[in-house]
């Protein structure tokens, strides 16, 4: 009996994973380290070291603080982000509140239309908005005719704030609507029962319960605006942080430390904003619809409230849909200048976009498809390792992949340039100038989205389904292939579509990485077109193509999710 070997047992427990799983985890870790860790690490390293010697220093940051332009840029970025949150809230609050807490005809339509701005890249919207709201745009021309005044909607920072808040307010709308919908009517009724009503009821019960949802949306808007490069550039606003980082690196060169210092500041601001919102949200999952609850309480509006409510909603929708209309008009316009509407219409811009400039579209489809593909492979693998194995340190993969959310696109682009420019291929071309770098950067940027979709899909699959397969003789690998992946298909596809469609219109990182026009994707082409007055027509046509592409993908992913939820009717 003493011959029973006891030694192998603890070892088996310590590894607690098959060799295949360990190899997979190591491969993913290597990929993340190389294409996320290394570039970001490089940026941090350069920011904190002395140029030439490589010794640690804070002098770069001292220079940053001493330079009036940078400090102004920092303040401007902060101001624009904060004001964008304010205005996005002004647009989102009435829409969310009216459509969720009242009997509101067309609530579904309003919620759908409220999504629309998201499918248009903000820098595309920027150009379109100039036409309606600019100094000599339609609105101001009309105002000038009628009242003899002009309003500087689009002047300087105001323009950035206006464009960003119109573009990003759906983030607040979505989160706030969800939060408002999740308030059980018993929560309100209990307050009424104890003597509360009207605005006091809203202030003491409804608003605090919806606050976490609002904060989640607001912090997202803040971070997105703070990081955005293309919109200020297109509006010719240069004294903000992201444009400064871009300009330093592109005009002075990748050796200049200031671009990296600004990048560090951008990262710190992003991480801080996310950390603050995570802290504020901690332990505040207020979703209160529950067993025995009565569902949502919807009030009926009095006639006057209805007039006011519909008026406000229509005004806001008109405002946020204006860029789409303007873009469409511009794409068909011969000349549109100093007049409320274009002079005449033509199809020439589309002919050009699909003719000589179709390269942009082709490149975009290739890049976004590859990036989306990489994302779902990584997403499925990481989700499986995290949720289904006991591998030591598996959460780190999840965190590392999600950390990409906190890295602004311009920072990742700068990191890629610096980290991979020195790496040359056998024929002497630097790695950073190859189009595959663009794909990798896009894949890293969109990985968090795909990962969330894959994790959610895997979480919905009961482990017993896999155990049943193993019980009947399938190995882990075959179980994944025959049971897990087919059941996750809907979620995987939705993840792919999300990654694909957002990668297709990404500009912040690509702006840094595109080395030649023949490698450029659609967003870059758009940016180049929009630089000149003559390019606006084709640029707008390209913008319409981009909007349609993203819209199509969004509808597709909704359909996929809906269908896979229906197919899983067995789940409940």
Partner 1 sequence: MNAIAPLTTPAVSVDIQGVNVSYGDNHVLKNVDLAIKSGEFFAFLGPSGCGKTTLLRLIAGFNQADSGSVLIGGKDISGLPPWKRDVGMVFQSYALWPHMTVARNVAFGLEERGVARDEVRRRVALALDLVGLGHLAERRPSQLSGGQQQRVAVARTVAIEPKVLLLDEPLSNLDAKMRAQVRRELRELQQRLGLTTIFVTHDQEEANTICDRIAVMNDGVIQQVGTPMELYERPANLFVANFLGTANIMAGKIVGTGRDRRFEIEGGMQIHVAETSGVPDRAKLVFRPQHARLSPAGGPSQASFSLTCDIIGREFLGSSIRYFARAGATEVAVDMPFQSSRQLFEPGTAAMLNLDYSSVLWLAE
Determine if 202 is a binding residue for partner 1 (CB under 8 A).
Answer: no
Q: Which stretch binds partner 1 (CB under 8 A): 95-103, 146-154, 194-202, 459-467?
A: 194-202
| Radius of gyration of the chain, Cα coordinates, nearest whole angstrom | 26
**Chosen residue from 197, 302, 531, 565 binding partner 1 by CB under 8 A:** 197
Number of residues that bind partner 1 (CB under 8 A): 26
Nearest distance from residue 214's CB to partner 1, in Å? 13
Q: Which two tokens stand for residue 494?
A: 């939705």
Residue 326, classified by CB atoms within 10 Å of its CB into exposed (0-12), middle (13-18) or buried (19+), is: buried
**Degrees, nearest 5: CA angle 469-470-472:** 65
Of the pair 74, 187, the CB lying nearest partner 1 is at: 187
Binding-site string for partner 1 from residue 313 to residue 352, where x marks contact by CB under 8 A and - marks none: ----------------------------------------
Of the pair 94, 293, the CB lying nearest partner 1 is at: 293
Determine if 454 is a binding residue for partner 1 (CB under 8 A).
Answer: no
Determine if 299 is a binding residue for partner 1 (CB under 8 A).
Answer: no
Of 203-262, binders to partner 1 (CB under 8 A) are 204-205, 208-209, 211
Determine if 193 is a binding residue for partner 1 (CB under 8 A).
Answer: yes
Of the pair 189, 470, the CB lying nearest partner 1 is at: 189
**Chosen residue from 127, 154, 187, 400 binding partner 1 by CB under 8 A:** 187
Three-state secondary-structure class, residue 335: coil
Task: Give the position of tokens 């995570």.
Answer: 278
HEC secondary structure over 127-151 = HHHHHHHCCCCHHHHHHHHHHCCCC
d(CA 298, CA 146): 41
Of the pair 188, 519, the CB lying nearest partner 1 is at: 188
Nearest distance from residue 277's CB to partner 1, in Å? 17
Of the pair 204, 563, the CB lying nearest partner 1 is at: 204
Nearest distance from residue 211's CB to partner 1, in Å? 8
Nearest distance from residue 291's CB to partner 1, in Å? 7
Nearest distance from residue 517's CB to partner 1, in Å? 55
Buried b (16+ CB within 10 A) or exposed e, 471-494: eeebebeebbeebbeebbebbbbb
CA distances from residue 361 to 229, 489, 521 in whole angstroms, order as listed = 22, 27, 7
Q: Which two tokens stand for residue 170?
A: 């759906």
Q: Which two tokens stand for residue 59?
A: 């002098």
Buried b (16+ CB within 10 A) or exposed e, 108-121: eebbebbebbbbbb
What is the Cβ-side half-sphere exposure of residue 277, based on CA atoms within 13 angstroms?
19
d(CA 85, CA 90): 9
Q: Which stretch binds partner 1 (CB under 8 A): 115-123, 182-190, 377-385, 500-508?
A: 182-190
Show contacts of 338-341: CB within 8 Å, 24+ apart: 338/136, 338/141, 339/138, 339/141, 340/138, 340/141, 340/142, 341/138
Of 121-150, binders to partner 1 (CB under 8 A) are none
Nearest distance from residue 185's CB to partner 1, in Å? 9
Determine if 102 is a binding residue for partner 1 (CB under 8 A).
Answer: no
Determine if 302 is a binding residue for partner 1 (CB under 8 A).
Answer: no
Nearest distance from residue 325's CB to partner 1, in Å? 41
Three-state secondary-structure class, residue 299: strand
Q: Are 226 and 410 in contact (CB under 8 A)?
A: no
Of the pair 284, 362, the CB lying nearest partner 1 is at: 284
Of 276-295, binders to partner 1 (CB under 8 A) are 283-284, 286, 288, 290-293
d(CA 480, CA 486): 9
**Chosen residue from 5, 195, 253, 473 binding partner 1 by CB under 8 A:** 195
Interface residue list for partner 1 (CB under 8 A): 184, 186-187, 189-197, 200, 204-205, 208-209, 211, 283-284, 286, 288, 290-293
């Amino acid at each position: 009996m003493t011959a029973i070997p006891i030694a192998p047992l603890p070892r088996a427990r310590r590894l607690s994973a098959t060799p295949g799983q360990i190899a997979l985890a190591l491969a993913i870790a290597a990929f993340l380290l190389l294409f996320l860790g290394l570039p970001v690490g490089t940026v941090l390293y350069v920011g904190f070291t002395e140029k030439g010697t490589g010794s640690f220093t804070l002098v770069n940051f001292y220079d940053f603080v001493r330079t009036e332009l940078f400090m102004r840029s920092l303040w401007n970025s902060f101001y624009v982000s904060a004001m964008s949150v304010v205005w996005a809230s002004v647009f989102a609050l009435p829409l969310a509140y009216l459509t969720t807490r009242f009997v509101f005809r067309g609530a579904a339509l309003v919620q759908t239309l409220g999504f629309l701005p998201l499918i248009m890249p903000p820098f595309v919207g920027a150009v379109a908005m100039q036409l309606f709201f600019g100094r000599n745009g339609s609105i101001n021309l009309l105002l000038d005719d009628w009242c003899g005044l002009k309003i500087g909607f689009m002047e300087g920072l105001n323009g950035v704030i206006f464009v960003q808040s119109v573009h990003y307010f759906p983030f607040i709308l979505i989160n706030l609507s969800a939060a408002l919908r999740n308030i059980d009517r018993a929560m309100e009724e209990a307050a009424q029962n104890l003597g509360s009503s009207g605005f006091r009821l809203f202030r003491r019960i409804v608003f605090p319960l919806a606050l976490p949802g609002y904060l989640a949306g607001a912090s997202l808007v803040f971070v997105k605006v703070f990081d955005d490069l293309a919109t200020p550039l297109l509006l010719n606003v240069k004294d903000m942080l992201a444009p400064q980082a871009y300009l330093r690196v592109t005009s002075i060169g990748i050796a200049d430390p200031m671009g990296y210092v600004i990048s560090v500041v951008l990262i710190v601001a992003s991480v801080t904003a996310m950390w603050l919102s995570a802290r504020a949200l901690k332990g505040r999952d207020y979703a209160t619809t529950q067993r025995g609850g009565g569902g949502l309480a919807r009030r009926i509006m009095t006639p006057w409230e209805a007039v006011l409510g519909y008026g406000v909603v229509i005004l806001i929708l008109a405002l946020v849909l204006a860029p789409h209309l303007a873009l469409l008009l511009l794409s068909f316009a011969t000349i549109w200048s100093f007049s409320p509407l274009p002079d005449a219409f033509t199809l020439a811009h589309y002919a050009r976009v699909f003719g000589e400039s179709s390269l942009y579209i082709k490149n975009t489809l290739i890049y976004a498809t590859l990036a989306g593909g990489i994302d779902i492979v990584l997403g499925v693998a990481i989700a499986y390792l995290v949720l289904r194995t006991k591998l030591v340190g598996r959460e780190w993969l999840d965190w590392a992949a999600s950390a990409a959310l906190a890295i602004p696109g311009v920072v990742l682009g700068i990191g890629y340039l610096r980290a991979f420019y020195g790496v040359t291929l056998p024929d002497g071309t630097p790695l950073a100038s190859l189009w595959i770098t663009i794909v990798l950067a896009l894949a890293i940027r969109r990985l968090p989205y795909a990962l969330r979709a894959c994790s959610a899909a895997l979480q919905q699959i009961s482990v017993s389904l896999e155990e049943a397969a193993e019980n009947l003789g399938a190995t882990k690998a075959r179980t994944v292939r025959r049971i897990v992946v087919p059941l996750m298909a809907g979620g995987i596809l939705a993840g792919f579509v999300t990654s694909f469609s957002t990668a297709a219109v990404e500009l912040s990182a690509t702006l840094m990485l595109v080395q030649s026009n023949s490698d450029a994707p659609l967003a870059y082409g758009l940016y180049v077109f929009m630089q000149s007055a003559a390019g606006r027509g084709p640029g707008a046509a390209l913008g319409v193509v981009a909007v349609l592409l993203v819209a199509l993908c969004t509808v597709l992913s909704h359909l996929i999710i809906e269908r896979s939820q229906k197919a899983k009717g067995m789940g409940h």
